[in-house]
Amino acid sequence: MNVADVWQRVIGTQPDPPRWLVLGAAGLALLAILPHPVWRLSRNVVTIAHEGGHGLVALLTRRRLDGIRLHSDTSGLTISSGKPTGLGMVLTAAAGYTAPPLLGLGGAALLSAHRITALLWISIALLAAMLIMIRNAFGVLSVVLTGAAFLLISWYGGSQLQAAFAYLGAWFLLLAGVRPVVELQAKRRQGGARDSDADQLARLTGVGAVLWVTLFLVIALACLLAGGSWLLA
């Protein structure tokens, strides 16, 4: 396959996969987030999306992005510099927990428009851009392995395998966007996570951290409802 063929596939449309494949992908996504041992591994993908959201919005609000770190305990850190208060800082702090479900919603929109290959290659491009800003070895390994999976599936996989992988990714981000928010509030209720995104936003805006957690949850559930309906349409 030459570059022209690849480009035509990226900008072109692909046929809808069978119904069983869409439902099977949803089932696998649930299995990836419900059992705790599996979640400890799959949550690394959510961390990539979470920190990538912080980084992207920091750049969009003209803050300087200094680096991103991903850790083996599924935590992460995005460091940006600029004005420590104001709208840019608020949007950057709010982008973490909202990024996974919003990315899932964007993926569902592409899939509902029959753009399976486009979804795979947009994902590769975003991961490649994020890799430039990773500042630790585990982070590099996580992003490279995730990007390699997308690249291998998009280049060598058949049409059904590509569709299954794309739908699995969209379902996973939509479903997995909810659990970290619930876990965040559970930790806060137990007296932990006092430097979380919600608590930072509370200090920046004067709006209570619980209200920010509620907003994160509403966005995640709204994305799941809308994106799920598109995927099942």
Say how far apart CA 167 and CA 227 lie, in whole Å.
Answer: 11
- Identify the pLDDT of residue 192: 82
154, 172, 45, 122 alpha-carbon torsion, rounded to 10°: 40
Say how far apart CA 74 and CA 93 lie, in whole Å.
Answer: 18
Which run of H or E residues covers position 143?
Answer: helix 137-156
Burial 70-84 (b: 16+ CB within 10 A, else e): beeebebebebeeee
197/11: higher pLDDT: 197
- Identify the pLDDT of residue 1: 57
pLDDT tens digits along 53-104: 999 999 999 999 999 999 999 999 999 999 999 999 999 999 999 999 999 9
Statement: residue 4 has pLDDT above 80: no
Bridge partners of 79? Answer: 67
pLDDT tens digits along 157-198: 999 999 999 999 999 999 999 999 999 999 999 988 788 999
Say how far apart CA 134 and CA 131 lie, in whole Å.
Answer: 5
Asked whether 145 and 137 are in contact (CB, 8 A), the reply is no
CA of 188: how far to CAs of 3, 8, 98, 197, in Å? Answer: 50, 49, 18, 11
* Residues in contact with 117: Cβ distance below 8 Å, sequence separation at least 6, in sequence order: 9, 10, 12, 14, 154, 162
Residue spans of the domains in the chain: they are 3-13+37-232
pLDDT tens digits along 56-68: 999 999 999 999 9
Q: Which amino acid is present at 75? A: S
Residue carrying structure tokens 């585990």? 138
* Residues in contact with 158: Cβ distance below 8 Å, sequence separation at least 6, in sequence order: none
- Identify the pLDDT of residue 40: 94
